[in-house]
Structure 1
């Protein structure tokens, strides 16, 4: 018997923006999607959002042990001005499934359900659809983004440790940043190893090294948003 987890064992998502059937408008702000009693996915609707003008969307993933709010915080300072809808899931375990359980499963299911819900209610620019994250969240964003590059146009990985895939689709553009003094995920076996592997696969990669540790300096997150939105971000 094929279980729901079996359907998601390679990390493939089924949600697509074409499922749009707009519902009533909601004021700008943070909402829980109501898809889980615990560790629900958070949604941020920017002040400039209107159904008549599709918004960029960024799925942002937290680091190990952190709540969904951390993912939301990664790009929230830019969301209102630049009309970016943010989706911040929470991992089912202490970290994402391929790290905690060594296989794709519950977090893929959760993310697919969250995206299906958001896609059904909000007008999304499918040319500006990113997945990103910090630390373990960045590793998972790379893994999911490469697996689902026919959905995600961009991947934003702040201090990732690895990228793991069982299958790959599409050619998303990739942004990676890493601190040269990172004591948690050292840059040599992590960022500097990942980048040439992706480039050898024909992917466009922007790699930024910075003086610092396991962190996201404001200049780095701003650079990532500028890159994602093709220069529309303002300093």
Structure 2
């Protein structure tokens, strides 16, 4: 009896959860592209994908230096819970690049069948930035709110060789396919959260701490939002890691 040949079709791109952009692209012989000036810009890519990018001002009297980079992911429906304004103020104050990509749909791909188009877009946007700015490889972080926090945890744990820090504000879950590196993790959750109960964030923090990650966990008296004092503390700790 003849046997069917094995399925040789390749897996979908990015289904392994891995990002490929690295700051070293700037030094790999690839042609550099002209940077955008200081300020906050709306990026529109040819395939219809969008993101926002904040470029910090640099002192012209000082030599250029590699810049930290924070990737910030929205929750379902594009909600940031107030965290985007806080992150923008932090980026301006600390001289950090801030990338805020939009998901293809109302939330991120892992909630809609697996890693794929959104992870590919994040990778593309990172590569776009790294060809235009010198990014500090030791100061790349990923964070998010709600679904974005869950996605940041998942992507950050799979790509801990890129992200040194993960900031998760009111996460619901984490779904890494594998672990790479040992990123530091900050988890915050409101005790009155009725959308994603506080036990979810607490459970994630306890699990990661038990697995040997450096974890900071903060609860606040609030609902499904980003607490400004807690967010500022998380970003202050992030700046201290530089």
> Normalising to structure 2: TM-score of the pair?
0.87
Matches within 5 A, 1:36-51: 36-48=46-58
2:76 match: 64
Structure 1, residues 118-171: CA drift from partner, whole Å, max 9, x if none?
Answer: 111111111111000001000000000001001000001111101101111001
Of the candidates 43, 67, 73, which is equivalent to residue 55 of structure 1? Answer: 67
For residues 191 and 71 of structure 1, what CA distance do their matches in structure 2 show? 17
What pairs with 1:56-135 in structure 2 (closer than 5 Å)? 56-66=68-78, 72-99=84-111, 101-135=112-146
Whole-Å Cα distance in 2 between the matches of residues 98 and 15 of structure 1? 20
- Match of residue 219, structure 1, among 225, 229, 238: 229
How many residue pairs end up in the alignment?
A: 229
Structure 2 Cα separation of the partners of residues 230 and 163 of structure 1: 26
The RMSD of aligned alpha carbons is 2.3
In structure 2, runs of 5+ residues without a counterpart are 1-7
Counterpart-to-counterpart distance in 2, 1:135 and 1:68: 8
Q: Residues 151 and 231 of structure 1: is their aligned pair in 2 closer, same or farther, counting only changes over 3 Å? A: closer
**Rounded Cα–Cα distance in structure 2 between residues aligned with 1:151 and 1:210:** 30
Q: How does 1:118-197 map to 2 (within 5 A)?
A: 118-188=129-199, 190-197=200-207
- In structure 1, runs of 5+ residues without a counterpart are none
Instruction: Tell me, yes or no, if the aligned pair for 1:33 and 1:114 is still in contact at 8 Å.
Output: no
SS at match of 2:77: coil
Offset from partner CA, 1:70-118 (integer Å, 9 cap, x none):
774350011111111001111111100011x131111111111011111
SS of 1:30's partner is strand
State TM-score, norm by structure 1. Answer: 0.90
